[in-house]
Amino acid sequence: MASFNPTAIPAQTLHETSQTALARMREMGVALHDKSFSTGLPVLRYQDLTCGENDPFDWEPFRGRISPGAGLLASGQSPFHADATHMTIVRWGKGEDECGRIIVDPSVCVSEAAFISYKSITIGKGVLFGPGAVVMDCDGEPMDPSLPLTPDNMHMAPVVIEDGCWIGAYAMIMPGVTIGHHSTIAGGSVVLKDVPPHSVAAGNPASVLMSFYKPDGSPLEG
């Protein structure tokens, strides 16, 4: 099938843009792969809740805590109307595990999604993201609205998206959720609890509409 995009960015320009973006990300301590690429500079944000507002910012504790996968789409090359990839890491304590971490498998290309991590977000092999998808391991608000906005009062829990999943456009994956391998999350869904492998989930809150395997791992018949 032939196609023509009259506003396409030339390959050489994309290569130069990628090299510039990768160099900037290395300066910011991002753990890149040998074949990493980026069609533009993603929005990276480091937030340290242990520092005062007027204290000088030290980004060294954030070094190596973002591993963004094979590539990032950030220049409008997607056919969808969405923003650049956003990745936010929040440090809320002095311990090694008191800071977010975003680990994306090297096989994954992230297309205009957003990740916010206080604990850890882990993305498996071959995962696909629709534009505008959001993954967060803390919603940034107290569990009890009457309590002060401090880390002790927030719900933080790791998020895992296993191999081969498809996260639809504008879906939201919330704290503590594991998406089982080879599952699909419908666009616009809000996922508050685990989704088993080989399943389709949809809705707000999302529920499992169908599964293709029995609990013992054997395929369904018919």
Q: Report yes or no on whether pTM surpasses 0.75.
A: yes
> 149-180: buried (b, 16+ CB within 10 Å) or exposed (e) per residue?
eebeebebebbbbbbbbbbbbbbbbbbbbbbb
Residue 121 placed within a domain = yes
Tokens of 82: 């969405």
Share of the chain above pLDDT 90, in %: 59
Name the one residue in this structure whose structure tokens are 């650049």: 84
Count Cβ atoms below 10 Å from residue 42 Cβ, excluding itself: 25
What confidence score (pLDDT) does residue 3 get?
63
pLDDT in tens, 27-47: 999 999 888 888 888 889 999
3-state secondary structure of 200: strand
* 27 occurs within a structural domain: yes
Please state the domain count of the chain: 1
Residue type, 47: Q
**Residue 164: CATH number of its domain:** 2.160.10.10
Binning pLDDT at 50, 70 and 90, where does residue 159 land?
A: very high
Residue 222 structure tokens = 């018919």
- The DSSP letter of residue 213 is B
**In this structure, is residue 34 part of a structural domain?**
yes
**H helices present in the chain, as ranges:** 11-27
Whether 218 is in a domain gets the answer no
**How far apart are alpha carbons 208 and 59 in whole angstroms?**
40
Rounded CA separation 211/203 (Å): 16
Range of the domain at 150: 11-208
Residue 217 lies in a domain: no
Alpha carbon 172 to chain centroid distance? 10
Residue 83 lies in a domain: yes
E strand or H helix at 32: none
Question: What are the tens digits of pLDDT across the range 72-126?
Answer: 776 556 666 666 889 999 999 999 899 999 999 999 988 789 999 999 999 999 9
Rounded Cα distance, 117 and 128, in Å: 19
Residue 6 lies in a domain: no
Do the domain assignments include residue 219? no
